[in-house]
């Protein structure tokens, strides 16, 4: 199976590296177009979230190497390869299959059981389909990954009472600063999925004075209307920052939207009032230096790690059931892929045997001039049965060993023994 994944995640790379390698939806589309130009015979699906950037590639023959994929990622973002190469990891073949299944089932997430990753995997696959960068291998493995995620959701409790980055940020971090939210001015920056999910948690926690600001004011109005919040134009951001008690930021900006200088300008108006900033964006929306200012509690995604690890431990008891599903589906998928990979060889073997059989049957019938039509049919059927019996054992062996690593070796041996050409 010529499937490979090269990328980084919160397990292997710091937030600084991850934000340098992150792709917006627009960038991902451009990257897939560039990939097709650079590697026209290789499939590709690009998964980029706040916690991971992973490029899945496949090819019928030899896919681009680990180094070529790493160079592609670095080149797209204009980053020297030497600065990020050691933070990238690789999975290939069965390892790539199991990794994708684990990611889609949210067992590899910072918050185990969070629901966003399933949608993000689906969106990455659909974008690749729209850009026509998928092929038979990536199509099958991503379809299978989505089925795995659905099984884990339906057959385990790992997704019950889902805990996402947004809920951890509000319930475990903002709650450390404020005992109540109903009397606090809450500013939500951004109007995407994470921002809206955070609004839901804030409303559940009793927040009432909610404001939504977004570069696209119409989008801010749509989101604000759903959560009884007040939409404000992007130009009002400095003034809103001066008044806010709690800020949740989750934009798709490629650079900080609020620098230390920006904060210094509005700091006198705050009179050192407590400000809690939950920066859920990747790359980060707020300059980390703002967290050093008096009265400011600034948390980024990586600051949630300890709480997320606690969540992981609590859900640990559900892991065996989820991992069993992943193992079952991975074995089934890999066996199916090997069956399909071996099908052309089996077809060539049968065609070769049929040609030899037909030639021998015809040679025999040419000599048996006295044989009537019924005798000729019996002779032909006897040769058919003989060929089927001879092929039965090797075909059964190939089928029974499709799940084993040495299956490819059996196919190669079959080609050499019978001199079957590609």
- Please give the positions annotated as active site: 50
Pairing of β 246-249 and β 275-279: parallel
Burial class of residue 249 (count of CB atoms within 10 Å of its CB; 0-12, 13-18, 19+): buried
**DSSP at 65:** P
Q: Which residues pair with 122 in a beta bridge?
A: none
CA pseudo-torsion sign 118, 124, 126, 129: negative
Going by C-alpha positions, the residue among 260, 292, 304, 57 that lies closest to residue 163 is: 304
Measured CA to CA in angstroms, residue 338 lies from 402, 403, 419 at distances of 6, 8, 20
Going by C-alpha positions, the residue among 209, 255, 251 that lies closest to residue 234 is: 251
The phi and psi torsions of 178 (rounded to 5 degrees) equal -120, 135
As a whole number of angstroms, the distance between CA 196 and CA 188 comes to: 9
């Amino acid at each position: 199976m010529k499937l490979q994944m090269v990328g980084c995640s919160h397990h292997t790379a710091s937030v600084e590296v991850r934000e340098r390698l992150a792709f917006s939806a627009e960038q991902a589309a451009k990257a897939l177009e560039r990939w097709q130009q650079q590697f026209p015979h290789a499939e590709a699906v690009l998964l980029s979230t706040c916690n991971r950037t992973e490029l899945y590639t496949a090819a019928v023959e030899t896919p681009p190497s680990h180094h070529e994929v790493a160079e592609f990622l670095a080149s797209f973002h204009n980053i020297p390869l030497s600065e990020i190469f050691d933070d990238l990891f690789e999975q290939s073949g069965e390892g790539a299959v199991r990794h994708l299944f684990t990611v889609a089932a949210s067992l590899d997430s910072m918050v185990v059981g969070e629901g966003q990753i399933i949608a993000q995997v689906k969106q990455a696959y659909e974008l690749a389909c729209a850009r026509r960068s998928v092929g038979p291998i990536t199509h099958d493995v991503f379809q299978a990954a989505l089925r795995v995620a659905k099984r884990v959701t339906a057959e385990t409790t790992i997704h019950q009472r889902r805990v996402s980055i947004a809920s951890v940020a509000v319930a475990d971090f903002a709650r450390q600063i404020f005992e109540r939210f109903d009397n606090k001015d809450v500013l939500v920056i951004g109007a995407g999925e994470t921002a809206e999910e955070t609004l839901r948690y804030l409303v559940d926690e009793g927040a009432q004075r909610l404001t939504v600001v977004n570069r696209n004011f119409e989008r801010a109005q749509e989101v604000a209307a759903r959560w009884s919040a007040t939409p404000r134009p992007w130009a009002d951001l400095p003034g809103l920052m001066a008044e806010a008690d709690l800020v949740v930021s989750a934009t798709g900006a490629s650079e900080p939207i609020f620098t230390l200088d920006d904060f210094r300008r509005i700091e006198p108006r705050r009179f050192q009032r407590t400000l809690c900033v939950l920066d859920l964006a990747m790359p980060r929306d707020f300059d980390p230096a703002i967290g050093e200012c008096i009265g400011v509690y600034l948390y980024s995604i990586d600051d949630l790690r300890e709480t997320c690890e606690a969540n992981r431990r609590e859900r640990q008891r559900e892991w065996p059931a989820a991992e069993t599903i992943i193992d079952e589906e991975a074995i089934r998928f890999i066996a199916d892929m090997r069956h399909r990979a071996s099908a052309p060889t089996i077809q060539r073997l049968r065609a070769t045997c049929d040609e030899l059989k037909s030639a021998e049957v015809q040679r025999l019938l040419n000599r048996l001039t006295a044989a009537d039509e019924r005798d000729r049919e019996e002779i032909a059927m006897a040769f058919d049965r003989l060929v089927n019996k001879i092929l039965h054992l090797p075909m059964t062996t190939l089928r029974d060993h499709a799940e084993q690593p040495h299956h490819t070796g059996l196919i190669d041996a079959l080609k050499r023994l019978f001199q079957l050409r590609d």
